[in-house]
Amino acid sequence: MTETINRPGSPSDYDPVQACPISPVVDLVFSRWTTPILWTLHQNGPLRFVELERRLATITPKVLTSRLRQLERDGLVERRQFAEVPPRVEYEISELGRSLAPIFADLGSWSQQNMARVEEARKAYTGPLPR
C-alpha cells in the first residue's frame, strides 16, 4: 500500500474526498438509517414497506420512504412493484448492496472487540462534551 504525503497548501487539505477517499462511502452507507435498512434487508430478504417499518420500530414512515428512495437511487436497494390488487411493493438489497456484507461483518467484529474500550474511554473523558 502506498502512502500519500499531504503537504500544507495541497488540494487534499481542502477537499475531504482527496484527503480521505473513503468519506463518500461513509456518507453513503453510514447515515442514520441506511445501515439498519441494509442490514435488515440483507438478513431477511425482500420485505414490504410495512414489514420493514415494523422491524425498524423507531423509524417514521416519512424517513423510511426517503431513505429507501436514496438507496434505490444509489443502487443499493431494488424496489419491485407487482401488478396486483391491492398493489404490492417489495424492497430487496441489491447485489451492490450485498457487496457491503464483508465490510459490515468486519465492523461487527470490531464492535464486539472494542466497544467496551470505547465506553471506558467515554467514562474516563473529562473534557468538554461535544455539541
Domain around 65: 17-122
Spatial separation of the C-alpha atoms in residues 112 and 102, rounded to whole Å: 15
- Supply φ then ψ for residue 75, to 5 degrees: 85, 10
Domain count along the chain = 1
Residue whose cell numbers read 495541497 = 10
- Closest residue by Cα to residue 17 from 28, 32, 33: 28
- pLDDT of 59 higher than 80: yes
In a domain, 128, yes or no: no
CA-nearest of 121, 80, 70, 75 to 98 is 75
| Residue 11: inside a domain | no
- Give the CA distances from residue 61 to residues 47, 52, 54, 67, 73, in Å, rounded to whole numbers and listed in that order: 15, 10, 10, 10, 18
CATH of the domain at 43: 1.10.10.10
| pLDDT value for 54 | 96
The strand pairing partners of 92, in sequence order, are: 78
Domain-embedded: residue 49: yes
Residue 2 within a domain: no
Q: Residue range 113-127: average pLDDT?
A: 93
Which residue would you say has higher pLDDT here, 18 or 124? 124
Give pTM, 2 decimals.
0.75
C-alpha cell, 128? 468538554
Rounded distance, CA 125 to CA 16, Å?
28
Domain annotation covers residue 97: yes
Query: Across residues 9-13, what is the average pLDDT?
Result: 56
At 25 the pLDDT is: 85
